[in-house]
Structure 1
Amino acid sequence: MSSPAPPRIFSPARREASWHRAERRQRREGAARFVIEDMAEDFAERIGFMQLAPERALLMGSLGGGLPGLKEVTRAAPGDFDEELPFPGRPYDFIASFETLATVNDLPAALLHMRCALAEGGVAMASLVGAGSLANLRRAMIAAEPERPAPRMHPLVDNRAATALLERAGFRRFVVDSRELSVAYRSLDRLVADLRDQALGNQLARVAPPLGRAALERVRAAFLDHADEQGRVVEKFEILTLTGWKA
């Protein structure tokens, strides 16, 4: 008996469009890069610590960034291939995913195909914004539509779920860890701009109706309800990093 299809939470078309918009926004002076730069720096430290020198590498969704010590590198953005199907161009000695796996509909399948795309002894790393993120934004969005809030923010993976998913994907040796980035904001609009700069905006399959003017003012005010004495709202981004070795 075939397994039921996974729920369609994310829109591949919106996902691809969000990524291309972020690529354009990254060309602007002052575009936010703190999440993607943190991921790249973390990957680089891990590569150095493990003394990896992969011959063939796949970088998924790096938004123009690179990693040291890689020789033959293939780059891929969302839409270049379907991560829920066998990866093209395999086998790779190293695969890095910058946030791209956070918005696939079948994450277990994507991790399985990532493992299968590795050569024996290869290493996969995937970073994504985790479940401990954007608590103030979530509270504000609920306050904007207290009776029937429309889905406007993504479900996020936590550490325990990520560990179970790696095991389910067939990795026999793996590590999941997390860290936090704290960023202060004086307005909701600046936070939304930073999310769009880094392809972290809404990519849900179900398109919610636009917020009306009154609801938008409510969400802006609700966001600032948690401001400190300097008028800043400290928003946290939890970064999960999944590392798996193909035995």
Structure 2
Amino acid sequence: MGVLEIIVRVSLVAILIKLAMATDHIVGGPNGGWDTSSDLQSWALSQKFSVGDNLIFKYPPSHNVIEVTKGDYDTCQLTKPIQTYNDGNTIIPLISPGKKYFICGTIGHCSTGMKLEIDTLATATSPVSSSPGESPSPQEIPIIPSPGPEGLTPSPSAESPSYGVPLPSSPLLDTHTPLETPTLSPVVPSSEVTGSSASPLENHSVNQPDSSSASKVIQASISAVLSFLTMLMAF
């Protein structure tokens, strides 16, 4: 299927849809008609004419329909008609927007009010109303600034306070003040520590001579006992 054929088919479908949606406006309404007794101006004001609609005139042989200009409509002149109809069932398609003017060509009928002015709109319009539940327009929605990258807030600066409140100065935030190197105190040798400050190891080393003396006393006692037992066994 070619592109041209597709375009033609789409156009035909659009025309059919438009024709199906078209409105037939019977002049004068169900209780009136194209005659001298109908209030044609009030009927025209109660209608909405759109491009694609049909304007239908139904009348007996004593009347006709003549389309005229604005000037001839105001003065009921028949000398320069745009179009004349007298078939009794005139259907005029409204194919273009704008105003159209019609009068009856029978003498004296136009001056008694048998005339019609219509205004055809380009498309069918419907009133736009706003309900309380409608969302506000983009102009009414307040704009909330989004947070910075990854949702992090900027770190405070010592030179630029935020919201007019000065930040306390800190040596960690002051990049202009060099950091001082801590001074280490000298280590006191263990030999200088006296009294109760001596470590348990040193106390243990001091008490070692007492332990060796006790062991010598025990060994001497055991030797004396063994000698005594040997003498008894000899007797």
The TM-score with structure 2 as length reference comes to: 0.19
With normalisation by structure 1, the TM-score equals 0.19
Q: Name which structure has the greater RCO, CA cutoff 8 Å, separation 6+.
A: 1
Q: Normalized per residue, which structure has more strand? A: 1
Larger Rg, first or second structure (1 or 2): 2
